[in-house]
Amino acid sequence: MKKKFAALLALALVASVALTACGGGSAPAASTPAAGPTGTNGGTMPGTSQAVGDASINTNSDYTFRTSDSNRVVTENGTFTKDNVPGPVLVTSVGQSADVSMLDALMKKVGAADYTFNSTAAADEMANYGTIIIACGASSKGLGAAGISQEDELARAQAIVDAVKDSDATVIVAHLGGASRRGALSDQFNNMMLPCADYIMVVEDGNDDGLFTDAATDNGVPITLIYSIADAVTPLTELFGA
């Protein structure tokens, strides 16, 4: 009887390992959540289901997360209000990731009026706007779909920097893709645009090395940390809601 029980126990363990190897087991709690096209922390676009991981756990650096499942939006380094976003408003991209389309959808959701969406707006168009919202994050697929090389997009981004740094326009840098939108190419765009920002909005698991919070502190500008991309509705409503 004992031999039969031991054999059954061994078979159960083998089956458990096999299920885990095939994705049947749970990932360790401290692992970084996988990010898809809907954002990070399991966040999804408004109107879809949302499964959220534990953003308070971080194993990559000494950075301390501010947001959590119960505290989804945190603003630091001062305040930023409707008074800071004169019109007309432009929504554009540097890096041509899908994040700019998500930003456009979020602006529509909050009832933002009188804004222009142009993901490939030229630098000389910046002078036409009082507020410029830039979705930062590179996507090779997005660049290919737009027919733009990495070199050309980097040149366009630099031209935008040159156009806005001496202008009176308010510049908002939005990084909504989280950890999946970081990396060498994306960070070239992030590092180019952050010094121009008057306000920063970032899905916080894309900031686990403190890049965005450090930039906000160094430049003395407000930053809003959001738990998932869907939580961008809160600051966008405050700034652009009907």
Intervals of the chain under pLDDT 70: 1-61
Q: So what's the pLDDT on residue 61?
A: 62
What's phi and psi for 91, nearest 5 deg?
-110, 120
User: Is domain 73-240 given the CATH code 3.10.450 in the classification?
Assistant: no
Q: Where in the chain are the domains? A: 73-240
**Strand residue runs (E) in the chain:** 73-76, 89-94, 115-117, 131-136, 170-175, 199-203, 223-226
Q: So what's the pLDDT on residue 60?
A: 52
**pTM of the model as a whole:** 0.76
What is d(CA 49, CA 43) in angstroms, rounded to the nearest whole number? 9
Q: So what's the pLDDT on residue 12?
A: 40
- Tens digit of pLDDT for each residue in 101-114? 999 999 999 999 88
Nearest to 175 by CA among 113, 114, 110, 102: 102
